[in-house]
Amino acid sequence: MPIRQSQRCDLVKQSDIRSMTLACAAVDGINLAQGVCDLDVPEPVLHGAEQAMRQGKNVYTRFDGLPEFRQAIARHQRRFQGLDLDPESNIVVSVGATGAFQATCAAMFDPGDEILLFEPFYGYHVNTLRSMDLTPTFVSLRQPDWSFTDDDLDAAASPKLRGVVLNTPLNPCGKVFTQEELERVARFCRKHDLMLLSDEIYEHFVYDGHRHISPATLPGMEERVVSISGVSKVFAVTGWRLGWAVCHSRWHEPIGHFNDLYYVCPPAPLQMGAANGLDQLGDDYYQELAEDHRRKRDRFCLALTRAGLKPHVPDGAYYALARIDHLPGRDSHERAMHLLRETGVACVPGRAFWNDPLGQGLARFCFAKRWPELEEACRRLEHFA
């Protein structure tokens, strides 16, 4: 008799991001598949963590995180979104935005509930929902401007629908939801009594005058919105696993409870490092970071154009979608593998972000690399043309 595995193993697809990363390592290529922000970690972040280790901040923290970190997050949310939060009852610190998302879903939804996502989507959101026996449903954004209407939302309403997952700026296409669009989603949530989970991990990566708006700032949404974010991207510490959920006080205990159950707490001294960074880094840090990524976006999209891989130029986040449907292969995965073989540059096939094996003929490239590596990727793609 074969040993059984859970049925969930079949529901939860293997991440193309991981498989392309492995394929890239096998050919010693340039990995533009994974969304690692490859930069130096800011000094106050390193210093804060190191000092905390030496000062004995090395034990379990409270179920919702260290007070110093929650206070720093509250100050950060006030500074960038004008939100007035109580660090004691509105913030749960978790193991990355990923952990915050999982704990929030566990606290809010029951097996069989439907949860609406915008397509293209971040695959981890979909897989997390499936792993919890929740049913993802989709509203497809229209290219080239990734638009949607009230009718699109209404068509997705159903008696089983309990929540909406929104990611702004949106991985993989870089859409930055406008105030008007967020209000449309908020109206829909109020009308159908839905929760809104807002993943804002790319909040500091917005370009060309676009502005990140947190749905938590919308009137009448206080109890319905949980905003999720973290420092993985903005402090280039994806391996530290530090994120948070910002929520109404009624959700603090339930989310905190699952967070405690799943993870106990993220590493205590690293929480102190992140707190130090949030408190000490000035507006110039965030502005320079966004400007550096804007320049990388422009350079990389130029290379994609020269390579004949027509890009969608993103307004936010640090990914570019580009056309690969003219490359040999039966689906987006085979085409992405062809590009990797020919250029040594790894991307993620569009099927990872759409319910469509052809992935709309697109692939996602991450341009958050150090300049020399990005230049080399550009050179290889331009040569490929």
CB of 248 to ligand PLP, least distance (A): 21
Residues 220-259 that bind ligand PLP (CB under 6 A): 230, 232, 238, 243
Residue 243 or 269: which CB sits closer to ligand PLP?
243
CB of 55 to ligand PLP, least distance (A): 25
CB of 250 to ligand PLP, least distance (A): 24
Q: How many CB atoms neighbour CB 343 within 10 A?
A: 19
User: Among residues 332, 328, 334, which one has the least CA distance to residue 356?
Assistant: 332
Distance between CA atoms of residues 271 and 370, nearest Å: 26
Residue 97 or 347: which CB sits closer to ligand PLP?
97
**Region for residue 374 given its phi and psi (left: phi exceeds 0; alpha: psi -120 to 50; beta: otherwise):** alpha
Query: Residue 373 is inside which H or E element, if any?
Result: helix 371-384
Residue 98 or 227: which CB sits closer to ligand PLP?
98
CB of 223 to ligand PLP, least distance (A): 23
Per-residue x/- track, 161-200, ligand PLP (CB under 6 A): ------x---x---------------------------x-
Q: What are phi and psi of 332, to 5 degrees?
A: -65, -30
Peptide bond connecting 172 to the previous residue in cis, omega within 30 degrees of 0: yes
Contact region for ligand PLP (CB under 6 A) — 2-10, 78-86, 95-103, 336-344?
95-103
Listed in sequence order, the residues at least 6 apart from 278 whose beta carbon sits closer than 8 Å to its beta carbon are 72, 73, 75, 76, 231
User: Among residues 362, 353, 384, which one has the least CA distance to residue 119?
Assistant: 353
Residue 96 binds to ligand PLP (criterion: CB under 6 A): yes
| Residue from the set 30, 49, 97, 348 that interacts with ligand PLP by CB under 6 A | 97
* Beta-bridge partner residues of 167: 199
- Provide the binding-site residues for ligand PLP, judged by CB under 6 A: 35, 96-98, 122, 167, 171, 199, 201, 230, 232, 238, 243
